[in-house]
Amino acid sequence: MPEQYHDNTRPLTTAAGAPVPDNENAVTAGPRGPMLLQDVWFLEKLAHFSREVIPERRMHAKGSGAFGTFTVTRDITRYSRAALFSEVGKQTEMFARFSTVAGERGAADAERDIRGFALRFYTEEGNWDVVGNNTPVFFHRDPHHFPALNRAVKRDPRTNLRSPENNWDFWTNLPEALHQVTIVMSDRGIPDGYRHMHGFGSHTYSFINAEDERFWVKFHFRTQQGIKNLTDAEAAKLVAGDRESAQRDLFDAIERDEFPKWTFFIQVMPEADAKDYRFHPFDLTKVWSKKDYPLIEVGEFELNRNPENYFADVEQAAFTPSNMVPGVGPSPDRMLQGRLFSYGDAARYRVGVNHHQIPVNYPRGATNVNTYHRDGQMRVDGNQGGVPGYTPNSYDRFSDQPAYHEPALALEGAADRYEYREDDVNYFEQPGDLFRQMSPEQQSALFANTARAIDGASEATIERHLNHCAQADPAYGQGVRRAIEAHKAGALGDDDRISELV
Ligand code: HEM
């Protein structure tokens, strides 16, 4: 039991600091009479209570977080001038939040779904957030599709149930989704807790070095605990007994001083290569071949401290891909560009315009935090005192920092709404490659998981999916078809290793 539970030296007060004489008995007119409105402590208590819930994240609502430490193990200063990478051995404080995507705040952890993998590095040049997932790709490649994705995977507006038809109708109308769908339906679709999965920045970002050279870069975080997954049957059993299995696993491991660790790698593409790489280098539905751009080690991070208070640190955490530091920048990936807006906007709605002041969000490692932002609800940090709130001014306060100017990025073409599909219709090669890399057991699990998940979708939707699978690899299409038939006949069972389906 934590020490503070036993602390009986601290008296109870109202929020205004006045002593509370009695926290159990309402003020009434006589021992059996009605309550009096002057029981102001009661009024305060109930009024606070009904305002305690803040909006949940629109997606990734269910999550777990922990603090930790990032340590540089290799010199990558030739790629990035970011201060956190400046020398081998350098350590930076971190916060991480893992999550499921579609479920609400009270959903079970062991669901077949992508996992969020959000990292914050409290660097001396400000917070750097890598707001990634446990998969290197995503369902779509234009941010216009994002609100729809969430409506398709969340509850049906009429039944308030999850709907296989909504889900698969949407996915199969975006053929580029097959790569991500294949990963979610694979044996990796239900990680056994958050410690046993890799993380990915997923998008292409940019690195800029001290010579002002730009590189395109992808981030990979490989678990040192080893990959562990659950089958559908194992997950169903687990959820029946424990809806918080991933939260419990992470929290308990850190309490036991078994600190989970991940190794941080990058893939680096010289700026000029992007022009004619064989895949669109900024397409979030594609990966870069590791043969073309091998993994380069950067460092490792460990999670070594549980938050003292879940709401304070985990619920109020507001990550955003727009939190970047000098030496790290965005790429033309239009999904990333869309996200640069969305998260700060969500934080201002969910937590408030001054969410930066909340300790988990405050750039606690930064040497300087001086903005001209003023006022707004819940401004509690002195509001930059008497410093003038305007620029230009004659006092040289909060001056620009031209040393951090990024090199110019050449852009071309007329502004228009360009259809991605006219640029690249190569939807199926990478999911096909992934399928062919799987062992027969993994392929069999993919077939069976798909058959169970798509059950309930319309024939037309199922046929559309089968058609896409077959285009990725005829054996993929055939395997899913046979698994669906077996499932309909009640012959699929719980065992994913149904070798005759391979
Ligand atoms: C959460 C938007 C794609 C990873 C969120 C939230 C929004 C959002 C509004 C809730 C934020 C909050 O309330 O604090 C979008 C949009 C996307 C997109 C508009 C595409 C256009 C992605 C992708 C990834 C990702 C591609 C991973 C590579 C996450 C994670 C969280 C999150 C990890 C939870 C962060 C946390 O733990 O607090 N997203 N998202 N999202 N998103 Fe996205």
412/431: higher pLDDT:
431
Asked if residue 440 lies in contact with residue 497, where contact means CB atoms within 8 angstroms, the answer is: no
**Active site annotation includes 487:** no
Give the ligand 1 atom nearest the CA of 116: 33
Least confident of 80-89, 91-100, 105-114, 379-388: 379-388
- On average, the pLDDT of the chain sits at 95
Count of C-beta atoms within a 10 Å radius of residue 276: 7
- C-beta 334 within 6 A of ligand 1: no
- C-beta 146 within 6 A of ligand 1: yes
Eight-class DSSP state of 406: P
State the pLDDT at residue 1: 61
State the pLDDT at residue 286: 96
Tracing tokens 């990558």 back to the chain, one arrives at 76
Ligand 1 centroid to residue 152 C-alpha, Å: 16
State the pLDDT at residue 241: 97
Count of C-beta atoms within a 10 Å radius of residue 5: 7
Which residues, in sequence order, are CB contacts of 461 under 8 Å at separation 6+? 165, 168, 169, 172, 454
Give the ligand 1 atom nearest the CA of 99: 37
Q: Which of 48, 127, 133, 449 is catalytic?
A: 133
Q: What angle do CA 88, 89, 94 make, to 5 degrees?
A: 110
Asked if residue 266 lies in contact with residue 296, where contact means CB atoms within 8 angstroms, the answer is: yes
Query: CA-to-CA distance for 325 and 403, rounded, in angstroms?
Result: 13
Q: Which residues pair with 227 in a beta bridge?
A: none
- C-beta 99 within 6 A of ligand 1: yes
- Residue pLDDT, tens place only, 187-212: 999 999 999 999 999 999 999 999 99
| pLDDT band at residue 493 under the 50/70/90 scheme | confident
Mutate which of 200, 320, 339 to test ligand 1's pocket (most atoms within 8 Å of Cβ)? Answer: 339
- Residue pLDDT, tens place only, 264-317: 999 999 999 999 999 899 999 999 999 999 999 999 999 999 999 999 999 999
Q: Which residues pair with 71 in a beta bridge?
A: 91, 300
**Active site annotation includes 196:** no
The per-residue DSSP string of 33-76 comes to SPBPTT-HHHHHHHHHHTT-PPPPPSSS-SEEEEEEEEEE-S--
- C-beta 338 within 6 A of ligand 1: yes
ipTM of the complex: 0.98
Burial class (CB in 10 A: 0-12, 13-18, 19+), 247: buried
Nearest-CA residue for ligand 1 atom 3 is 339
Ligand 1 centroid to residue 404 C-alpha, Å: 27
Count of C-beta atoms within a 10 Å radius of residue 264: 26
- C-beta 347 within 6 A of ligand 1: yes
- C-beta 82 within 6 A of ligand 1: no
> Residue 241 phi/psi, 5° resolution?
-105, -20
Share of the chain above pLDDT 70, in %: 97
State the pLDDT at residue 498: 45
Q: What does the pLDDT average to over 36-65? A: 97
Asked if residue 98 lies in contact with residue 194, where contact means CB atoms within 8 angstroms, the answer is: yes
Q: What does the pLDDT average to over 429-451? A: 97
For 9, 33, 41, 45, 500, the CA distances from 20, given in Å and listed in that order, are 14, 22, 7, 11, 71
State the pLDDT at residue 502: 35
Closest by Cα among 314, 287, 343, 326 to 131: 343
Residue 495 has pLDDT above 60, yes or no: no
The residue type found at 459 is E
Residues 75-84 as b or e (16 or more Cβ within 10 Å = b): ebeebbbbbb
Give the ligand 1 atom nearest the CA of 98: 37
State the pLDDT at residue 494: 67
Query: CA-to-CA distance for 200 and 97, rounded, in angstroms?
Result: 13
Asked if residue 250 lies in contact with residue 195, where contact means CB atoms within 8 angstroms, the answer is: yes
Residue 387 has pLDDT above 50, yes or no: yes
- C-beta 138 within 6 A of ligand 1: yes
Count of C-beta atoms within a 10 Å radius of residue 155: 14
